[in-house]
A and B are shown apart, each in its own frame.
Chain A
Amino acid sequence: DAKTTQPPSMDCAEGRAANLPCNHSTISGNEYVYWYRQIHSQGPQYIIHGLKNNETNEMASLIITEDRKSSTLILPHATLRDTAVYYCIVIRDDKIIFGKGTRLHILP
């Protein structure tokens, strides 16, 4: 399985940008990086995904390094509702494996 490494927790002040890192040094050339988040006990929610280029949508931006060994999810203006566990995933062999993720605390 394509393994990812994330910090277990992070804090961010409300209104500031939250930058969540992910290391995926064993990623292969055609494997996408996906980000999901899970708020409290709800089902995970898709945020964004990318292959090589940086991506942006209404929720977040995804910055992938040129060598594709790491990426950063950016929430541009974090709010209290962004408090959640954020998962970085690389899919290999049709298996979507969630790691432990990063617990993001938004501080008022």
Chain B
Amino acid sequence: QKEVEQNSGPLSVPEGAIASLNCTYSDRVSQSFFWYRQYSGKSPELIMSIYSNGDKEDGRFTAQLNKASQYVSLLIRDSQPSDSATYLCAVNMDMGRRALTFGSGTRLQVQP
């Protein structure tokens, strides 16, 4: 079992729809969680961080964390073609002793 799991996709949604990206993690004591966006040929760009259970909203993005179920999700409202990218989930496990652990990413395609 991978430590951070994501569906590789591609996830295809029409323009204007809500895109829902999911991530599960194995270490129950993980404390901090991040979503990165990576365009082809570019480095990952941080878009959201979340540290406590519940929802966190930033513009069109909402991160959701459920520590009991060990999953974190990212919702993108009013999806745009420019949102087409690979979305990486990252989890900070074993604070201070290990690096950020990344999932393999979900490729999102927003159809005009």
Tell whether A and B belong to one assembly.
Answer: no
Binding site for B on A (CB under 8 A): none
